Amino acid sequence: MQATSRKSDHRGRCTACFCDSMSTRTRAQEFPMADVWISVQAIGGVGSEVEISAQEAKHALGARRLGTGDSVTFFDGFGTTASAEIIDGRSRGGERFARVESVRLTPRVQRTLTIACALPKGDRLATLLDMATQAGVDRFIPIDCERSVVDEEKLARNDRWQRILIEACKQSRRAWLPELVAGGSIAEVMQREAIRQAASFIAHLAPTSRPLDVALRESASHASAIVWIGPEGGFTDAEVSLLQASGGNVVTLGAHVLRIETAAVAAAAVFAQSRLAVNEG
């Protein structure tokens, strides 16, 4: 069999295949560098130098073998993103620096989604926050239900939950960080949320439940929506009645009983499609 010679381009990359003989540094260059998103506290104007924290530098730059001259995207979680180029210099603490080349402001979506839900057991709250953020949820509110209690100790780990939200935004290229809202009983949360005048939907399997997508189309005039998701045992009849009394609509996310985090992601996916349809219309 005749051997195939390998040719390299001007960067030393193998043009015949992506083989194991390529250096780690070269393989990393095949990825679009601007796809690397980095969370920063504040973004200056074009030409300003922004510090990349040691944690972000180790995670985002180290894993991708990025160095001087490579491009990254900064985001502050409040709609501002920036294309930046890594420059020389590393502090003793491991921080790096990059120079801003362009800045973009992304407006917040006009129709927002709030998920008010019972807390899932174990570490499944992390899964809920991660996946629902990627799916487009704008606000999260933990609620006390008759068949569940808000775990205050779990909620106190705010730094961890914020980190999960940030990582999910980086993964999904999302410029706005979701909001973690203080929880409470259903009645307390209802009272606080009333001022938002959001379309209210109760995820509840019942003969009268309508598909969420249908209910969303009928409520397109509302600026925002809130989906209430109960604990593993579901809402009690009294809780459903309480939510309905304040204008809540009973909806279904399908024919099957879902876990809390699954229901949150399913609701977010349906809402995302509804939001696209409204924008296109």
Residues 246 and 195 in one domain: yes
Domain final position from 70, 105, 140: 105
Residues 57 and 168 in one domain: no
Q: Report the alpha-carbon distance of residue 38 to residue 85 in Å, rounded.
A: 12
272 inside domain:
yes
CATH number of the domain that residue 201 is part of: 3.40.1280.10
CATH number of the domain that residue 77 is part of: 2.40.240.20
Residues 82 and 195 in one domain: no
Cβ pair 38, 73 in contact under 8 A: yes
Give me the pLDDT at residue 74, please: 96
How would DSSP label each residue in 228-246? EE--TT---HHHHHHHHHT
Give me the pLDDT at residue 270, please: 96
Share of the chain above pLDDT 70, in %: 84
For the entire predicted model, the pTM comes to: 0.82
pLDDT of 49-58, one tens digit each? Answer: 999 888 888 8
14 inside domain:
no
Q: From the CA atom positions of the chain, what is the Rg in Å?
A: 23
How many domains is the chain built from?
2
Cβ pair 22, 58 in contact under 8 A: no
Mean pLDDT over each residue of the chain, to the nearest integer: 84
Q: Report the alpha-carbon distance of residue 90 to residue 151 in Å, rounded.
A: 41
Give me the pLDDT at residue 94, please: 78
255 inside domain:
yes
pLDDT at 82 over 80: yes
pLDDT at 32 over 70: no
pLDDT of 231-254, one tens digit each? Answer: 988 999 999 999 999 999 999 999
Q: Give the up-direction half-sphere exposure of residue 189: CA atoms within 13 A in the CB hemisphere.
A: 28
Domain final position from 105, 134, 168: 105
Give me the pLDDT at residue 92, please: 62
Q: Decide: residue 264, CB within 10 A, 0-12 exposed, 13-18 middle, 19+ buried.
A: buried
Residues 194 and 244 in one domain: yes
Domain span at 72: 24-105
**Could you identify the residue written with the tokens 């996946």?**
131
The stretch 114-142 carries a mean pLDDT of 96
Q: Report the alpha-carbon distance of residue 164 to residue 153 in Å, rounded.
A: 17
The stretch 258-278 carries a mean pLDDT of 92
Domain final position from 61, 78, 105: 105
